[in-house]
């Protein structure tokens, strides 16, 4: 039914489940971006969030380079290299929850993006170890990490930091890895067409949307 009647499908967080169900076959493009019901009414919606959303939903031209919101730090490269492929991913805890189901994420030849909120580093460690063991990290052509909000450990004296988890599990990959890309649970986020192509430049710390999600 969805395939026969394609519509704009937009959202993030728990909506990751539906992104993977609708777009996991590669036949539909969905949009990882702000929630219409809640964020369209926020005072932070005008500006960066609105401009990126409207471009993603209305322009047949590629979105081009994704720059951080004004005043935010630049994107950071954890691993060098350049790679291009279709975007796949979403909220990491939901990606993990769908492993072993018919809607398990396919990362072969794709750019994996993920983010999450209010989770300690040990959970990221668990989820990324699961993806690594399932071959999902080796299959992708690049990894892009978004806004991992409120990820401080409750007991820092006996916990890795989130940065250390990423160094341990993403650092050894043979693909480019970017950190701090504006998507996820943060107030200021761009909109990303899942299923459309993107270019990750780990040499320069840059990220480009090279294909539009609409025509």
- pLDDT (tens digit, 9 = 90+) per residue, 128-173? 999 999 999 999 999 999 999 999 989 989 899 999 999 999 999 9
How many other C-beta atoms can be found within 10 angstroms of the C-beta atom of residue 133? 10
| CA dihedral sign, ordered 185, 211, 107, 75 | negative
Would residue 3 count as lying in a domain? no
What mean pLDDT value characterizes the chain? 93
pLDDT at 194: 97
Distance CA 38, CA 61 (A): 28
pLDDT at 112: 98
- The catalytic site residues sit at 13, 115, 185
Most confident listed range (20-24, 26-30, 188-192, 197-201) = 197-201
CATH code of 127's domain? 3.50.30.60
- Order of all β-strands in the sheet with 30-32: 10-11, 30-32, 192-194
Would residue 215 count as lying in a domain? no
State which residues form the domain around 88: 10-209
Comparison of pLDDT for 7 and 9, the residue scoring more? 9
pLDDT at 187: 86
Model pLDDT for residues 24-38, shown as the tens digit of each residue:
666 789 999 998 877
Model pLDDT for residues 62-83, shown as the tens digit of each residue:
999 999 999 999 999 999 999 9
pLDDT at 25: 62
**What percentage of residues in the chain have a pLDDT greater than 90?**
83
pLDDT at 38: 76
**Which SS3 state, helix, strand or coil, does residue 12 take?**
coil
pLDDT at 4: 73
Would residue 4 count as lying in a domain? no
Would residue 166 count as lying in a domain? yes
pLDDT at 23: 80
The answer to whether residue 2 scores a pLDDT higher than 80 is no
pLDDT at 1: 65
Comparison of pLDDT for 129 and 44, the residue scoring more? 129
- Order of all β-strands in the sheet with 111-117: 64-65, 206-209, 197-201, 82-91, 111-117, 142-149, 177-179, 76-79
Would residue 5 count as lying in a domain? no
Q: Which residues are paired to 207 by β-bridges?
A: 200
Number of domains the chain contains: 1
Would residue 44 count as lying in a domain? yes
The answer to whether residue 121 scores a pLDDT higher than 90 is yes
């Amino acid at each position: 039914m969805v395939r026969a009647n394609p519509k704009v499908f937009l959202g993030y967080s728990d909506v990751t489940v539906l992104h993977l169900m609708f777009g996991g076959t590669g036949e539909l493009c969905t949009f990882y971006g702000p929630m219409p019901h809640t964020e369209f009414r926020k005072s932070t919606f005008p500006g960066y969030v609105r401009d990126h959303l409207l471009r993603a939903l209305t322009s047949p031209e590629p979105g081009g380079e994704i720059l951080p919101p004004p005043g935010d730090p630049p994107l950071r490269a954890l691993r060098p290299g350049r790679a291009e492929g279709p975007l796949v991913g979403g909220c990491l805890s939901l990606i993990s929850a769908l492993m072993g189901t018919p809607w398990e994420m396919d990362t072969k030849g794709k750019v994996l993006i993920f983010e999450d909120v209010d989770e300690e580093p040990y959970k990221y460690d668990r989820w990324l170890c699961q993806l690594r063991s399932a071959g999902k990290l080796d299959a992708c052509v690049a990894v892009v990490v978004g806004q991992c909000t409120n990820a401080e450990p409750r007991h820092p004296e006996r916990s890795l930091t989130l940065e250390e988890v990423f160094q341990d599990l993403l650092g050894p990959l043979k693909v480019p890895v970017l950190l701090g890309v504006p998507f996820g649970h943060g107030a200021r986020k761009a909109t990303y067409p899942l299923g459309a192509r993107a270019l990750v430049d780990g040499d320069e710390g840059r990220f480009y949307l090279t294909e539009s999600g609409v025509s």
